[in-house]
């Protein structure tokens, strides 16, 4: 429908195609499979992941000026797709599902087989609803980023303030200039735990603050602003309220639904990363996880802690403590779900997620089980690994017990497989081997189209970069072969444009930043990589500053709260 029945007028409105496609993927599957809870899956699949990208100063508005082929290519990114779908989700909640659907129908009917702009879509929605859609939504589509709402609770009410949220605490939040000066009109959905109030209110961009007057802490209990993370913003609390939330989760976490628990977890780790709150608040919030068994929460825990894990993984004193903390927290649920691929869709997704965390944290029982299944599969006594456990077994089996002989057997199976999803999993397994020569063989194999399909070349380099042994190797191979890659794919290929950004996301030293800057200066024609290069440099600078600011804070908490490291 979107893009075919109605096509955007110009590339600056690409999101009218891609944001809609991303949003309705979830809505369509939810209609077909109601038990899969796809609206919750959307939170961890699109909303929260793109909030990381959009908190960079090098992000861009959903509606962005486009004037060259390279710029056209570069806007096919997470902002157009995932932020586009996320603001549609927020808009649908504010309008109500029926009115939103009526407005979409009107838009499709009015502009079928024509071209349309975002303002035409807003007008169709306004006509059926009578709501000031453009006035509200322009603040979300014509400026980059999103706000963090500071919530201050008194006995008689609650007050909200807003400011732009950026991951870099030293960044100038007024740049680049915005037509709305980085103020948003925010549909605020809030919920009270004790009295079960569930209300939506508008925080206007022109207001200095917003008072929720129909709320009393004593009568209504804890206040959850941004119920189910329906809005594209974060919420910060005073330190004593973060403690109150942590205590409530420990006492009875089920008073918040899984979407709200995921929201709290993601917000507190993002706010800690941006130096808005102390990391102690974030780690305290995780203590209740020993009782958590919901897929979307563990999915977001995995992503929320990934940044700290990546930054700490080379620290021989702190990383074992970090592993012990989360290894102990995930152990009850990973032991409960086990290694048999059975149950509902949510149970299967939960199993894959928690066993992955367990293996990352060095849980020897789960690593040994991955190796046992892997060896049976390599030897042929097991015909195939259950599909939902396959990636785990391929990765950690190869990492734990990979030999050149086993690697070559897996490589032959990769070459003979005709299923794209299976080939992708096998590539990740091959890239997990702890052997430089075999990693080199895999990278060089990308030059033979008969072995590695053209569309999988960058996937191989990315997977090698995830391997601690291959982190610098992936960069060296890509830059040494840069002319070859440009000749093969062209400088305006968006996947080539993103490659160097993708493989440097966990870089955090001055020498790594130097080699990136040096290479970009020597190869100044970035093509489709212009925006990804800026984002990559900003991300690595942020990583370096993050280590300086947070390493001691995290050390203090881990040393106070985690016992001696041991094999789990």
Q: Decide if pLDDT at 566 tops 60.
A: no
Tens digits of residue pLDDT in 350-370: 999 999 999 999 999 999 999
Q: Is 316 exposed, middle or buried (0-12, 13-18, 19+ CB in 10 A)?
A: exposed
CA–CA distance, 561 with 328 (Å, rounded to integer): 12
| Separation CA 337–CA 21 (nearest Å) | 34
Helix (H, G, I), strand (E, B) or coil at 225: strand
Q: The sheet that has 234-237: what strands, in order across it? A: 210-212, 158-164, 147-153, 234-237
The average pLDDT across 15-38 equals 95
- Residue 515 φ/ψ, nearest 5 degrees: -70, -30
Identify the pLDDT of residue 568.
41
What pLDDT does 510 receive? 98
Higher pLDDT among residues 33 and 156, named by residue: 33
What is the DSSP code (8-state) at residue 160?
A: E
The 10 Å Cβ neighbour count of residue 184 is: 24
Q: What is the mean pLDDT of residues 105-111?
A: 95
Distance between CA atoms of residues 146 and 179, nearest Å? 14
- Asked whether the predicted pLDDT for residue 301 surpasses 60, the reply is yes
The length of the chain, given as a count of residues: 568
Percent of the chain with pLDDT over 70: 99
Give yes or no for a contact between 106 and 42, defined as CB atoms under 8 angstroms apart. no
Three-state DSSP class for residue 211? strand
C-alpha torsion angle, residues 247, 147, 58, 279 (rounded to 10):
-20
- Whether pLDDT at 205 is above 90: yes
Q: What is the pLDDT of residue 147?
A: 98
The residue written with tokens 């009410």 in the block is: 157
Checking if the pLDDT of 64 tops 80, the result is yes
Is 79 within 8 Å of 50 (Cβ atoms)? yes
CA distance 468 to 431: 10
Q: Which residue has the tokens 């004037």?
A: 67
Q: What angle do CA 207, 211, 214 make, to 5 degrees?
A: 145
- Give the confidence band of 567 by pLDDT, cuts at 50, 70, 90: very low
Q: Which of 338, 332, 333, 310 lies closest to 322, judged by CA?
A: 310
**Sequence-ordered strand ranges (E) for 36-194:** 114-116, 147-153, 158-164, 186-192
Of 481 and 1, the structure prediction assigns the larger pLDDT to 481
438 vs 338: CA distance, rounded Å: 32
Q: Which tokens belong to 21? A: 């496609």
On the question of pLDDT at 50 being above 90, the answer is yes
CA torsion through residues 395, 397, 402, 408, sign: negative
Q: Read off the pLDDT of residues 531-552 as tens digits, 9 standing for 90 and up.
A: 999 999 999 999 999 999 999 9
Radius of gyration of the chain (CA): 24
For 417, the token pair is: 């497989």
pLDDT per residue as tens digits for the range 360-408 = 999 999 999 999 999 999 999 999 999 999 999 999 999 999 999 999 9
114, β-bridge pairs:
6
Domains of the chain, start order? 6-142 (1.10.390.10), 146-286 (2.60.40.1910), 435-567 (1.25.50.20)
The pLDDT assigned to 304 comes to 94
Q: How far apart are CA 179 and CA 142, in angstroms?
A: 8
User: CA angle, corner 337, sides to 331 and 338, nearest 5?
Assistant: 85
Preceding peptide of 454 cis, ω within 30°: no
Note the pLDDT tens digit of each residue in 128-143: 999 999 999 999 999 9
pLDDT averaged over every residue in the chain: 95
Give bridge partners of residue 225 from the DSSP assignment. 190
Residue with tokens 């080939």: 423
The DSSP code sequence of 430-454 is HTT-S-HHHHHHHHHHTT-TTTS-G
Average confidence (pLDDT) over 16-26: 94
- Quickly state the pLDDT bin for 1 (edges 50, 70, 90): low
pLDDT in tens, 415-438: 999 999 999 999 999 999 999 999
pTM: 0.92
Beta strands per DSSP E along 101-157: 114-116, 147-153
> What per-residue confidence (pLDDT) applies to 565?
63
């Amino acid at each position: 429908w979107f893009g075919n029945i109605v096509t955007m007028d110009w590339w600056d409105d690409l999101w009218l195609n891609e944001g809609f496609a991303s949003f309705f993927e979830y809505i369509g599957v939810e209609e077909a499979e109601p038990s899969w809870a796809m609206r919750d899956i959307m939170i961890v699949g699109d909303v929260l992941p793109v909030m990381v990208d959009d908190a960079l100063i090098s992000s861009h508005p959903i509606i962005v000026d486009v004037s060259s082929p390279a710029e056209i290519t570069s806007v096919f990114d997470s902002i157009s797709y995932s932020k586009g779908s996320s603001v549609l989700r927020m808009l649908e909640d504010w309008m109500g599902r029926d009115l939103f659907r009526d407005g979409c129908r009107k838009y499709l009917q009015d502009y079928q087989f024509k071209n349309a702009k975002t303002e035409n879509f807003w007008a169709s929605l306004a006509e059926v609803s009578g709501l000031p859609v453009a006035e509200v939504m322009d603040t979300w589509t014509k400026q980059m980023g999103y706000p963090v709402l500071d919530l201050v609770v008194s006995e008689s009410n609650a007050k909200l303030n807003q400011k732009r949220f950026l991951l870099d605490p030293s960044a100038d939040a007024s740049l680049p200039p915005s037509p709305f000066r980085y103020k948003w009109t925010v549909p605020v959905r809030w919920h009270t735990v004790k009295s079960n109030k569930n209300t939506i209110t508008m925080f206007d961009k022109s207001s200095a603050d917003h008072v929720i007057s129909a709320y009393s802490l004593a009568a209504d209990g804890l206040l959850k602003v941004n119920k189910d993370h329906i809005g594209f913003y974060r919420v910060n609390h005073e330190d004593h309220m973060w403690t109150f939330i942590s205590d409530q989760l420990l006492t009875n976490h089920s008073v918040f639904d899984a979407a709200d628990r995921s929201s709290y977890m993601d917000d507190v780790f993002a706010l800690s990363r941006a130096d808005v709150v102390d990391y102690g608040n974030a780690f305290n919030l995780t203590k209740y996880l020993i009782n958590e068994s919901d897929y979307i929460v563990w999915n977001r825990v995995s992503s929320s802690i990934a940044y700290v894990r990546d930054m700490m993984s080379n620290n021989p004193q702190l990383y074992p403590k970090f592993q012990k903390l989360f290894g102990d927290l995930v152990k009850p649920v990973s032991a409960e779900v086990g290694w048999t691929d059975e149950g509902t869709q949510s149970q299967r997704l939960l199993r894959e997620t928690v066993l992955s965390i367990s293996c990352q944290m060095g849980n020897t029982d789960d690593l040994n089980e991955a190796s046992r299944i892997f060896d049976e599969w390599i030897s042929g006594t097991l015909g195939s690994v259950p599909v939902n456990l396959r990636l785990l077994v391929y990765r950690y089996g190869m990492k734990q017990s990979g030999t050149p002989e086993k690697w070559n057997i897996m490589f032959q199976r990769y070459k003979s497989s005709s299923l794209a999803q299976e080939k992708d999993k096998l590539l990740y397994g091959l890239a997990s081997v702890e052997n430089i020569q075999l990693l080199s063989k895999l990278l060089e194999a990308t030059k033979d189209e008969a072995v590695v399909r053209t569309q999988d070349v960058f996937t191989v380099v990315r997977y090698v970069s995830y391997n601690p042994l291959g982190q610098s190797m992936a960069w060296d191979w890509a830059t040494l072969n840069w002319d070859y890659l440009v000749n093969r794919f062209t400088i305006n290929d968006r996947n080539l444009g993103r490659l160097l950004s993708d493989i440097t996301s966990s870089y955090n030293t001055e020498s790594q930043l130097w080699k990136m800057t040096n290479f970009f200066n020597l190869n100044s024609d970035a093509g489709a990589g212009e925006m990804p290069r800026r984002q990559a440099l900003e991300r690595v600078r942020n990583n370096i500053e993050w280590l300086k600011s947070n390493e001691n804070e995290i050390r203090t908490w881990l040393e106070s709260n985690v016992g001696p490291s041991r094999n789990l």
